[in-house]
Structure 1
Amino acid sequence: MKTKLFKNIAFTAIALTVAFGSVSVASAASKLSGKIVINGSSALLPLTLQAANEFKKLNPKVKIAASAAGSVTGPQSVRKGIADIGAVDWDASTDVPGFKKFDGQVPNKVAVIPFAAVTNSGVKVPDLTTKQLQDIFSGKVTNWKDVGGADSKIVVVNRAFGSGTRVNFQIKALNGTDFMTKGDNYKEVKSSGDMKTAIETTPGAIGYIDLVYVTSKMTAVKINGTAPTEANVINGSYKVWGYGYYMTKGQPTGATKAFIDYVQSKTFQNGSLKKLKFIPLAAMKNVK
């Protein structure tokens, strides 16, 4: 009887501690207020919108406005003072090919983004080599029959300059090879959503996108025999991926810091972030 009574008392004490702890955390969180403006990467937009929705439920006095006009617009908006967070698919505090660094901005890693070469579902070429991708995206190869497919025109769909997905794909899938920039088999789109639509609806189309946007109406192509999967990114065999960053002017503070902390938390990283086909930061500790 005494043992049972002690267990009941101990359980009650633990329950009260958890309950009061939750009240304390909720109370502290509810004191946050203000507005967070986020601009930049369309690849990161699904993650940003999901995180914003969850964060606002915990912090109802914080308003979050998120938009995506391409990675480079993120740090540009932060520099101009019209955004608190610039979402970008590369570390914009460093130089990358085609872009100078944004001095005074702090890179906050928030996700690992796997990118894939994708084709319209009618294209029956499931695997391409690096050389074949280079030839296709540079315009040297214009018919699918030349890479093992049907006798049909290849339509190259490219992201506009300033896209972080474009930067990552050019460096990591094409080894820096230049894109074609015009032609009757060339289309250029502004966002990941536009790329998704173009690939789904254009016969013979090939482009590139992050995994969250891949649908049954397209094929995520193997590169040199390796599929663009989370497992292959983590084991180091698939190289076409990059980190997603939230750039801030100096170290983040207040509601902005709290939001970034939430996105970096185990709760979000191992929950909604994984469900959206991004990869948690912690999974890449041993991958270069």
Structure 2
Amino acid sequence: MGVFRWEIILAVLGVVVPIAAALYEFVFVGRKRLGYRVQMDTTATDAVHSRYAGALQQLQDGDGTRLADPSFVLLRVENSGATHIDSGDYAALPDDKVGIRVRFPGRRVAGMVVTELSDDFLRPCFADGSGLSVRDGVIELPKVPLNRSAHYKVLAALERTGEEGSGSGPRAEFDPPEVVGGIKGGVGNGGIQETRSQTGTSWRAVALICFLVLVVLGQLAVALGGDDAAALDCAEGKLVLSGSTAFGPVLRDAAEAYRKTCPDAEFAVRTEASSEGLEELDRAGREQGSGSPAQLAFTDGEKGGAYPRLLPRPVAFSLFTLVVNGEAGVHDLSLEQIRRIYDGKVANWKELGGNDLPVLLVGRLNDSGTRRAFEQKVLGAQEPPLTSDDCRTPRPGAASGPIRCERSSTGGVLDAVEQVPGALGYSALGEAADRRDLRPVSIDGHRATLEGADHGAYPFWETEYAHTYGEPPADSLAAGFLRYLTNEVGKDIVRSHGHRPCAELQNPVLCRPTGQAGPRPASPPASPPASGGETDGG
């Protein structure tokens, strides 16, 4: 809508309209107002004959004559405004003591009495000489000063006169009384106004409530409507997401969620290994020649000194865990025990208090960032060489030591550990948590938790980085998707897979490149990278 946004307009209306309604009701309409209310107007004759009518059938005038078709009227006079009414406020001549006159068409006043006062100090206002009288069938009421909400009531006994307005028979209804009076400076022309007894919610209040409900519904419609795309910085085009298999589930879910909000965006998720993602991104950038290709490469850890044209951005803190086949019978291993296992010094789980099963190792290929994190943070050395293809029997001519196989993805490692009794492997925490037949292994009594890693007690973690070839344009799909991973929806997706947004760390420097961060938690010294792997990616 150009400069004017609907949500702002609706919010302003939601504030301005109630204020205007309050000003109208209490300042303009209710500033000074004299009102009256007919609370009863009924005949004294019985519609159904009753022997208990008694004196009501014998009502007489002062001279002893019975009243013809007698009736009673109870009239309430009140200050229905927001300010006080003084005796000088009545619209009458200064020497006239009468402020209000009440006439009953077709009826004559046989008697009248003031029956109720809101405040006892009003009593002198109706004393002799105050102006209270009945003259020529008209009730005259004095100029009574009334504070806010003050009132008095007048009960009158009347009889039918047969004049015009008295109806055609004794059962005919009477015309309503005519009340004449006014105040100076009152609402409208200042005349006395008939009021109503409020027994339910006024139509003004109902209208205001309905208006506010419509404002809220309108704001909700705007929030759920097309403005989402602008709020999420939607971009169009196609983006390739490559690299870490451990972070692959996050990327697939985030891409699908982004696409639902921004339908003009397309994604191709190719997560095979961190080093492959970095190599593919670097190659795409060189082939393009200038600018940044529509591709992001994700790695579990830093890229090191390779690929100097790629810019890293920390996006999440990834937790990893050792996993063991449920039949092994172990739940916790110390760093020393883990290193002894991978050095080939432990051949059977019963040597560590587990069941009588041989130890079998399942690892990742040499280009895996998860493997790099395991070697650097846990082993402090390289994993032993590959000796088996099926994770059960050694290759012909394989070197002595533990049987060890390799798989190309996190899911492949978990499948192998799940299928081979006594197998031990590692994976991202979120994916391992979904496997019923696997047991996460604590390290030195510490489970894989954000708090443990944040305080240096749990060593098996890594920062997840997103890499771009140079700086992508701010309005590109690559830049928009990176921003999406750090907003509320993106953070929820990251958490749902066992990772944590960098902003949630107690020590946020853990999520920065090593050259920009302070000292990391204590961990085993890193070993030189294995041949064929130049990265820390996953």
Taking structure 2 as the reference length, what is the TM-score of the superposition?
Answer: 0.49
C-alpha contact (below 8 Å) 1:170/1:177 kept by paired residues:
yes
What is the correspondence of 1:237-256 to structure 2 with a 5 Å cutoff?
Answer: 237-253=457-473, 254-256=476-478
Q: Which structure's CA Rg is the greater one?
A: 2
Q: Letter of the aligned partner of 2:257 in structure 1? A: E
Q: In the alignment, which of 265, 275, 278 is matched to residue 62 of structure 1? A: 265
Q: Deviations over 1:94-123 (max 9, x none)?
A: x2xxxx422011112222110011101111
Q: CA deviation at 1:65?
A: 0.4
- Distance, in Å, in 1 between the alignment partners of 2:234 and 2:503 is 30
Whole-angstrom CA distance in 2 between matches of 1:281 and 1:220: 24
Task: From the superposition, tell whether residues 145 and 29 of structure 1 become closer, same or farther in structure 2 (CA, over 3 Å).
Answer: closer
Determine whether 1:88 maps to 2:299. Answer: yes
Amino acid aligned to 2:487: S
Q: 2:372 aligns with which of 148, 152, 167?
A: 167
For residues 31-69 of structure 1, the C-alpha deviation after alignment (integer angstroms, 9 at most, x for no partner) is 622100111110000000000110000111111000121
User: What residue in structure 2 maps to residue 282 of structure 1?
Assistant: 503
Separation of aligned partners in 2, 1:36 and 1:234: 33
The 1-side partners of 2:500 and 2:276 are apart by 24
Q: What code does the residue aligned with 1:257 have?
A: A
The gaps in structure 1 that reach 5 residues or longer are none
Q: Please tell me whether residue 186 in structure 1 is matched to residue 404 in structure 2.
A: yes
In 2, distance between residues paired with 1:12 and 1:67?
A: 47
Q: Hey, what does 2:337 align to over in structure 1?
A: 132
* Cα gap change, 1:69 to 1:13, in 2 (>3 Å): same
1:35 aligns with 2:238: yes
The structure with the largest helix share of the pair is 1
Paired residue for 2:446? 226
Tell me the distance in 2 between the aligned counterparts of 1:232 and 1:281.
Answer: 15
Instruction: Output the CA distance in 1 between the equivalents of 2:344 and 2:460.
Output: 21
CA displacement 1:6-35 (0-9 Å, x = unmatched)? 777667556645654653342676962210
Instruction: State how far apart, in whole Å, the 1-side matches of 2:354 and 2:319 are.
Output: 25
Structure 2 counterpart of 1:182, one-letter code: L
Whether contact under 8 Å (1:74, 1:247) holds in the other structure is: no
Contact 2:232 2:484 in 1 (8 A): no
Counting only pairs closer than 5 Å after superposition, residues 135-146 of structure 1 correspond to structure 2 as: 135-146=340-351
Decide whether the 8 Å contact of 2:321 with 2:426 is kept in 1.
yes
Q: What corresponds to 2:353 in structure 1?
A: 148
How many residues are matched? 280
Counterpart of 1:51 in structure 2 is 254
Partners of 1:36 and 1:65 within 8 A in 2: yes
Task: Give SS of 2:465's match.
Answer: strand
Q: Call closer, same or farther: CA 1:182–1:276 in 2, change over 3 Å.
A: closer
Q: State the partner residue of 2:77.
A: none
Whose relative contact order is higher, 1 or 2, with alpha carbons under 8 Å and at least 6 apart?
A: 1
Query: Counterpart amino acid of 1:101?
Result: A
The runs of 5 or more residues in structure 2 that have no matched partner are 1-17, 23-204, 286-293, 388-393, 395-402, 511-538
Distance across 1 between alignment mates of 2:234 and 2:273: 33
Shift of 1:240: 1.1
Tell me the TM-score normalized by structure 1. Answer: 0.88
Q: Return the alpha-carbon distance in structure 2 between the equivalents of residues 216 and 190 of structure 1.
A: 22
Matched, 1:198 2:413: no
CA-based RMSD of the aligned residues comes to 2.4
- Among 269, 280, 299, the residue aligned to 1:77: 280
State, as a whole percentage, how many aligned pairs show the same letter. 27
Deviation at 1:233, TM superposition (A): 3.0
Q: Which moved more, 1:7-16 or 1:116-125?
A: 7-16
Distance 1:257 1:284 in 2: 23
Q: Deviations over 1:113-137 (max 9, x none)?
A: 1001110111111111111111112
CA distance in 2, matches of 1:9, 1:109: 48
Query: Do 1:30 and 1:58's aligned partners in 2 also have CA atoms closer than 8 Å?
Result: no
The answer to whether the aligner puts 1:266 opposite 2:469 as a matched pair is no
Partner amino acid for 2:481? F
CA offsets 1:60-103 (integer angstroms, 9 cap, x no match): 111100012111111111101187111111122xx2xxxx4220
Tell me which moved more, 276-285 or 186-195.
276-285
* SS state at 1:91 partner: coil
Distance 1:256 1:225 in 2: 41
SS in 1 for 2:467: strand
- Structure 1 residue 234: Cα displacement: 4.1
Q: 1:30 to 1:110 in 2, by over 3 A?
A: closer
- Work out whether residues 328 and 357 of structure 2, in 8 Å CA contact, stay in contact via their aligned partners in 1: no
63-72 or 276-285, which deviates more: 276-285
SS of the counterpart of 1:38? strand
CA–CA separation in structure 1 for the residues paired with 2:278 and 2:231: 30
**Deviations along 1:176-231, whole A, 9 cap, x unmatched?**
22211033311111110101101110111001111111111111101011111344
Residue 177 (structure 1) aligns with: 381
SS of the aligned residue for 1:272 comes to helix
Q: Rate the CA distance shift 1:12–1:285 in 2: closer, same or farther, 3 A.
A: farther
